[in-house]
Amino acid sequence: MARATFGDFLQAAHASIGQRSGASGPAARGSVEEVSASLLRVVTVMGRYLKDMTAGVNDVPPQARPALHPWAIACLQAREALSNSAGFLTERGAGPRWPPSPAASPLAQRLDTVTVSLITGRDLLHTHFTPGTGSTRQHRSEWAPIVTSPPVNRALLTEIASLARRIAHQASGLALSPSVGGPAARTRAAG
């Protein structure tokens, strides 16, 4: 039996968000609250990946950051965007319930599956390290320098961005769909 690789979990995440249920409309996508809670979980995990990737840059003062490589700046900006998204979702009452109760809506189910795949993939990457002093990590395997290399970080940032874009497209469909008593329904009733 072949060992699982990080790529297997990343591929599973992409496949999960790519799945479409047979039903359509707001009822098939689920409640905004349920999807928001699932979205918060996946945003939190994506933020952890970016925190891992920017660990060496955290000590760089903001005034020194323009000297950073464009990919490092992109990583920091993406991390900040995910942090802002998590803050917004938390303000709106999407509590990060762990473990999540099984979701009823297909979109929330897909988001939860993406979250599990990303958590498992990140855990696998972390097997190449042991805790060091403070918040540092020590290399545990010959793969550790590769896992933290700039080309791998760029590829990982690209994959996270691709997932985020696909998730945003699907979640925006729910946010913009007319709902009973929602803004679009009130506009139709008033017109």
> What spatial distance separates the first Cα and last Cα of the chain, rounded to whole Å?
63
Q: What is the pLDDT of residue 179?
A: 56
* pTM (2 d.p.): 0.81
Mean pLDDT of 34-47: 92
Per DSSP, 22 falls in state S
Q: Is the pLDDT of residue 27 over 80?
A: no
Greater pLDDT, 101 or 141: 141
Q: Is the pLDDT of residue 123 over 60?
A: yes
Cβ distance 79 to 153 under 8 Å? no
| C-alpha–C-alpha distance, residues 64 and 28, integer Å | 48
Q: Which residues pair with 139 in a beta bridge?
A: 129
pLDDT tens digits, 49-66: 999 998 877 767 777 766
Give me 48's structure tokens.
């952890």
Cβ distance 137 to 130 under 8 Å? yes
Long-range contacts: 52-56, Cβ < 8 Å, 24+? 52/122, 52/125, 53/79, 53/153, 53/156, 53/157, 54/79, 55/135, 55/137
Greater pLDDT, 18 or 125: 125
Q: Which residues pair with 130 in a beta bridge?
A: 138
Per DSSP, 182 falls in state S
Cβ distance 120 to 126 under 8 Å? no
- Confidence band of 184 (pLDDT split at 50, 70, 90): very low
Q: Is the pLDDT of residue 95 over 90?
A: no
The structure tokens 């979701």 sit at 103
Mean pLDDT of 154-164: 95
pLDDT tens digits, 55-94: 877 767 777 766 778 888 899 899 999 999 999 888 765 5
| C-alpha–C-alpha distance, residues 53 and 152, integer Å | 10
| C-alpha–C-alpha distance, residues 93 and 106, integer Å | 20
